[in-house]
């Protein structure tokens, strides 16, 4: 491995470590500044628990220590591989995140692929028929989608397809009353369709408008004019010279959208009561579950960092100018 490659890997790991430290401090500060009392959230504010029992609960979870000491204890255990125990689920944080992330990954992965494919196709069609009624219709559709809140769209789809038409289940990731091992793949997909459709539609606009503009630039280039001069028709010329040039930037943009994808999944999971990582983050915030909230914050930071890193790598592979600049930088 070359020296430049080792320096790049080392710089990447240093940036990731700095990001995780900053995210953990910020998340911890927000949690302890919250007006929610974790002991109240744990035992219930209306319960008949005595003051002594409340103190015992606080001592059990380490809530009786100063905030700075609690953070350093958490950071020390974290470096040793222990992410703590969730107050909400009474399970190790690593176990809760692993189980919930698998569910969220299916949702986000499906939505990511659907939004990329649909957005790219719409962008190509709008770019080829620039200025037509079809182009104006796609642009209007994308502008409406980009200003539509994900939770509102989810409620609309839920009301229409789950309540009125009864084509899809209202909530959850599996039928009620079935054990995890008894749920079939078809039932999981049936429960996944509406949440993933909600999440994918909100991500279509950016990729479609970007692809449209890129294709318009390509169609006005000299090599496309040369292709027309040689007698090539519009669609064959677009397929041979246009798609190839706009596909990789579109894929890069799609990788860079991981942060919007993760944020949108939180709203979609809340609307459909989908038991993923976003749903767990909401419960952790409402109950002052600092260990779980810190674990999810770090997990989301790594997830978004990975998406941006993949986007940068693809840019370097696609654009020789950037690759050359970094090799000399």
Domain boundaries, the chain: 3-91, 92-326
Among all chains, which residue has been given the structure tokens 């039932």?
Answer: 187
Q: Exposed, middle or buried, 325 (CB in 10 Å: 0-12/13-18/19+)?
A: exposed
58-67, 159-168, 169-178, 276-285: which has the highest mean pLDDT? 159-168
User: What token pair was written down for 105?
Assistant: 């990954």
- State the pLDDT at residue 121: 92
pLDDT, mean over the chain: 83
Where does 34-66 have alpha helices with state H?
A: 38-43, 51-60
Separation of alpha carbons 320 and 329, rounded Å: 14
Check residues 117 and 203 and name the one with the higher pLDDT: 117
Average the pLDDT over 247-259 and give the result.
81
* Angstrom distance (rounded) from CA 2 to CA 280: 43
pLDDT score, position 13: 82
Q: HSE on the CB side for 17, CA within 13 Å?
A: 8
Binning the chain into helix, strand and coil, the percentages to the nearest 5 are: 75, 0, 20
pLDDT tens column, 221-236: 888 888 888 888 888 8
Q: Model confidence over 7-24: pLDDT tens digits?
A: 777 787 888 888 888 988
User: Selecting from 3.30.70.360, 3.30.300.30, 1.10.3720.10, 1.10.10.10, what CATH number does the domain 92-326 have?
Assistant: 1.10.3720.10
Which run of H or E residues covers position 278? helix 277-286
Task: Taking residues 125-145, report their average pLDDT.
Answer: 90
Does the pLDDT at position 40 exceed 80?
no
């Amino acid at each position: 491995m070359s020296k430049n490659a080792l320096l790049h890997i080392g710089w990447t790991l240093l940036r990731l470590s700095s990001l995780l430290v900053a995210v953990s401090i910020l998340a911890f500060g927000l949690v302890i500044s919250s007006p929610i009392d974790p002991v109240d959230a744990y035992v219930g504010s209306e319960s008949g628990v005595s003051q002594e029992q409340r103190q015992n609960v606080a001592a059990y979870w380490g809530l009786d220590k100063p905030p700075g000491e609690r953070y350093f204890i958490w950071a020390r255990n974290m470096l040793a591989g222990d992410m703590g125990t969730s107050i909400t689920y009474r399970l190790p944080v690593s176990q809760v995140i692993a189980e919930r992330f698998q569910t969220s990954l299916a949702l986000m992965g499906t939505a990511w692929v659907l939004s990329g494919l649909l957005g790219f196709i719409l962008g190509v069609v709008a770019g080829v028929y620039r200025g037509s009624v079809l182009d104006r219709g796609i642009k209007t559709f994308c502008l409406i989608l980009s200003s539509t809140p994900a939770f509102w769209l989810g409620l609309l789809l839920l009301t229409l397809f789950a309540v009125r038409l009864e084509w899809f289940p209202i909530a959850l990731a599996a039928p009620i009353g079935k054990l995890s091992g008894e749920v079939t793949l078809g039932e999981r997909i049936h429960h996944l369709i509406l949440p993933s459709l909600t999440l994918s539609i909100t991500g279509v606009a950016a990729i479609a408008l970007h692809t449209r503009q890129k294709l318009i630039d390509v169609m006005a280039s000299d090599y496309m004019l040369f292709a027309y001069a040689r007698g090539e028709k519009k669609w064959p010329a677009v397929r041979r010279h246009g798609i190839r040039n706009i596909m990789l930037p579109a894929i890069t943009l799609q990788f860079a959208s991981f942060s919007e994808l993760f944020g949108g999944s939180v709203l979609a999971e809340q609307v459909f009561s989908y038991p993923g990582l976003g749903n767990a983050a909401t419960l952790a915030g409402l109950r002052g579950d600092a260990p779980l909230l810190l674990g999810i914050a770090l997990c989301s930071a790594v997830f978004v960092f990975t998406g941006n890193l993949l986007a940068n790598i693809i840019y370097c592979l696609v654009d020789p100018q950037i690759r050359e600049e970094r090799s000399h930088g």
